[in-house]
Amino acid sequence: MTHLKGRFLLAALMAVSVLTASAVSWQPQPQTQNKDGGVSQQETASISDEKKSAAKPSDHETGKVVPQGDQKLQLATQLVNVVVTVTDYYGRFVTGLNKDHFDVFDDKVKQQIAHFSDEDSPVSLGIVYDVSGSMKDRIVRSMHALKRFVETSHDDDDFFLIGFNDRANLIQDFTNSADRLLGHLMFVQAKGSTALYDAAYLAVEKAKQGRHNKKALLIISDGQDNNSRYTYRELRNLVKEADVQIYAIGITDPGNDGLAGMGRSILEEIARMTGGRAFFPSAYNEAELIEICTRIALELRHQYAIGFYPTDVESDTKWHKVHVAVNPPKGLGHLSLSFKEGYQTFKK
């Protein structure tokens, strides 16, 4: 498995190197680059000049004033984790930053960063794969892209596979065997309707059982839901509660776009809520699909993990909006951040 992953990772990096996107690693010396993939921009961040150090965050607050000393109210004893992707103007991943380069806010109240990591950590990841009738002529192309995705991923990643048409089914439980995972797709017969919400709901619940702290989903579909028992509202509520990052690939057909309107906006929303991304390649462009899968796999390996114990004066707030700002060293230019929109709390 490791040998295969090394071979395909090399192929992935060679393919991505022809793109504009690569990774930029900041160090106290002039910046260097490597040949990893990148993603588009989402939120623009300001610039300031800071040294790369391990100093404690400042006590500056934005929007609200946090009571000092014993007056601080601890909302939860559980650490809130936020996965952050940082890209530069050209869409290249920015690595090498430390916690002093970030500020985290909970409902506009600045929080103290209790945990920070920029390690290439493994993921418990679910692939949610549309095998409805409309995917009949797209199985082979998407399987090639999925193979590139799996082989570009971290050696210790665990994968599971959920296929869906009229109903959602767990086809492969957690495994780190690419052959075992992808072998199931060779015998798939595409038919039936599209129970997308049911499949995504099942996948989120399954991902929560993963052994790794970092959890994610990759959804591949070409049409909007038309056969689920769960509603989109129920799926959305689950996504808000779970700490699972969602990436979506909506395969579009210019002549018959089943993702037009509601289907496209739903994939975009659930991805944005969790700090993931949604892509919409053409059904007939296999190279584009492979490129997107490669970029997603590389993005999962070039992220920052930031954790904080939330403090606020409004303990009855159920939904907490999270904001992350970056203050990078001079010379990196305007940076873009992607992170989950918030987290859910519950009264005891």
- Of 326 and 56, the one with more pLDDT: 326
Q: Are residues 175 and 288 in the same domain?
A: yes
User: CA 199, CA 147: separation in Å to the nearest integer?
Assistant: 21
Q: Are residues 47 and 138 in the same domain?
A: no
Across residues 69-92, what is the average pLDDT? Answer: 76
- Residue 218's pLDDT is 98
- Residue 290's pLDDT is 95
pLDDT surpasses 70 at 160? yes
| Counted domains in the chain | 2
Across residues 108-113, what is the average pLDDT? Answer: 95
Q: Are residues 100 and 211 in the same domain?
A: no
Q: Give the residue from 103, 90, 112, 108 showing the smallest Cα distance to 33.
A: 90
- Residue 347's pLDDT is 63
pTM exceeding the 0.75 threshold for the entire prediction: yes
Q: Give the residue from 4, 65, 54, 10 showing the smallest Cα distance to 36.
A: 10
Query: For 45, which DSSP code?
Result: E
Q: Are residues 88 and 177 in the same domain?
A: no
pLDDT surpasses 50 at 197? yes
Give the three-state DSSP class for 201. helix
Q: Are residues 289 and 237 in the same domain?
A: yes
Q: Are residues 194 and 75 in the same domain?
A: no
- Residue 28's pLDDT is 53
Q: Are residues 267 and 315 in the same domain?
A: no
- Amino acid symbol at 39: V
- Residue 329's pLDDT is 87
- Residue 330's pLDDT is 87
End-to-end CA distance of the chain: 45
Percent of the chain residues past pLDDT 90, beyond the cut? 57
Q: Are residues 289 and 323 in the same domain?
A: no
User: CA 13, CA 26: separation in Å to the nearest integer?
Assistant: 20
Three-class DSSP labels, 110-151: EECEEEEECCCCCEEEEEEEECCHHHCCCHHHHHHHHHHHHH
- Of 35 and 199, the one with more pLDDT: 199
Which of 12-21, 119-128, 277-286 is least confident?
12-21
Which of 18-22, 165-169, 273-277 is least confident?
18-22
CATH of the domain at 231: 3.40.50.410
Burial of 4 (0-12, 13-18, 19+ CB in 10 A): middle
pLDDT band per the 50, 70, 90 thresholds, residue 61: very low
- Residue 283's pLDDT is 77
- Residue 53's pLDDT is 35
Q: Give the residue from 218, 221, 269 showing the smallest Cα distance to 246.
A: 218
Across residues 75-88, what is the average pLDDT? Answer: 86
Across residues 246-250, what is the average pLDDT? Answer: 96
Percent of the chain residues past pLDDT 70, beyond the cut? 74
- Of 28 and 64, the one with more pLDDT: 28
- Of 178 and 155, the one with more pLDDT: 155
- Residue 30's pLDDT is 45
Q: Are residues 65 and 143 in the same domain?
A: no
Q: Are residues 10 and 141 in the same domain?
A: no
Across residues 15-25, what is the average pLDDT? Answer: 51
Q: Which residue has the tokens 């409902």?
A: 107
- Residue 11's pLDDT is 42
Sign of CA dihedral 43, 49, 55, 58: negative
How many helices, marked H, and strands, marked E, lie in the chain? 7, 18
Q: Which residues span the domain enclosing 263?
A: 123-299
- Residue 263's pLDDT is 81
Q: Are residues 84 and 151 in the same domain?
A: no
User: CA 187, CA 324: separation in Å to the nearest integer?
Assistant: 44
Q: Give the residue from 254, 246, 253, 251 showing the smallest Cα distance to 280.
A: 251
pLDDT band per the 50, 70, 90 thresholds, residue 71: very low
Q: Are residues 320 and 173 in the same domain?
A: no
